[in-house]
Amino acid sequence: MMSILSWILGASFLTSLISLVGRSIVFLGEERFRRFIHYAMSLAVGTLLGVVFLDLLPEALELAGARTVFFWVLVGFLLFFILERGLFLYHCREGECPVHAFGYLSLIGDAIHNFLDGVIIALAFLVNIPLGIATSFAVIFHEVPQEMSDFLVLLHAGFERRKALFYNFLIALTTVIGAFLTYLFAGVVQGIIGPALGLVAGNFLYIAAVNLVPELHEAKHARKKTVALAQISLIILGILLIYFVGVIFEH
């Protein structure tokens, strides 16, 4: 029987590895990548919404009162808006700083985000294994299109492809660090898991509603019925995936 630590480290390392695969897709060519990424985003929206409403919120409400949980959902939503705005404000404008500068800033932002992903994965596994697995799926599916985009940012910043890939892999390992530190301080974390899950739910809602859904509307040929149908189908597929993960691992 695997220990909780084994589940946490395994899931966080798998997330780092898959994010590297996501970046490697860019090598297929930028045009192919741009056609693919919006479909990956659609699946990510479904998994994120599925985890929020089928797993995170029900578990959080069992551990804390509704008023407390939804307060922290709101805090989580606003916190990640503030974090994202802060990162954007410090990005250099074209011609006002060295070409690599905004690439390094992107790496710093990615490191923070991946560290938080590790915290999220560990928190979920500390509640129970099914929630940990479902949350890991959601993290992985939203990580792939994000990492593909981040990799393109580095290429546009002037990084060589091999160097960009190497830096991104190192940054991806911060997921494992975040997960391990959360497990290490589990005794402190246990008392606040209910509110923490609310915070995570707010984070996932922000990513789905603010980062991903607007991108789907702006996708090339987004107004075509076939594209819209594919997006809707993939969102539903993502929700069903999380639902069946919960059903399978609860028994």
- 133-156 pLDDT, tens digit per residue, is 888 988 887 777 666 666 666 666
**Cα(179)–Cα(126) distance, integer angstroms:** 11
Distance CA 118, CA 115 (A): 5
Residue 16: predicted pLDDT:
82
CA triple 32-156-97, angle to 5 deg? 165
Q: What is Dmax (Cα atoms) for the chain? A: 58
- The model's confidence at residue 251, banded by pLDDT at 50, 70 and 90, is very low
SS3 state of residue 182: helix
Q: Hey, which of 107-111, 144-148, 165-169, 204-208 has the most confident mean pLDDT?
A: 204-208
pLDDT of residue 2: 63
pLDDT tens-digit series, residues 188-199: 877 788 888 888
Predicted pLDDT of residue 42: 86
- Which tokens go with 43? 């699946």
As a whole number of angstroms, the distance between CA 88 and CA 105 comes to 9
Residue 16, classified by CB atoms within 10 Å of its CB into exposed (0-12), middle (13-18) or buried (19+), is buried
pTM of the model: 0.69
Q: ∠ at Cα 149 (179, 166), nearest 5°? A: 60
Q: Give CA–CA dist 133/245, Å, rounded.
A: 8
- What mean pLDDT is predicted for residues 25-43? 68
More confident residue, 68 or 167: 68
Cα–Cα nearest to 47, from 174, 228, 204? 204
Share of the chain above pLDDT 70, in %: 74
Structure tokens at 201: 């739910």
- For 157, list phi and psi in degrees, rounded to 5: -80, -5
Cβ(120)–Cβ(180) below 8 Å = no
Q: How far apart are CA 86 and CA 91, in angstroms?
A: 9
Read off the tokens for 112. 């923070």
The domain limits of the chain are 32-246
- Render pLDDT for 214-241 as a digit per residue (tens, 0 to 9): 878 876 666 778 888 888 999 999 899 8
**Looking at residue 200, what is its pLDDT?**
83
pLDDT band at 95 (very low <50, low <70, confident <90, very high): very low
Residue scoring higher pLDDT (247 or 12): 12
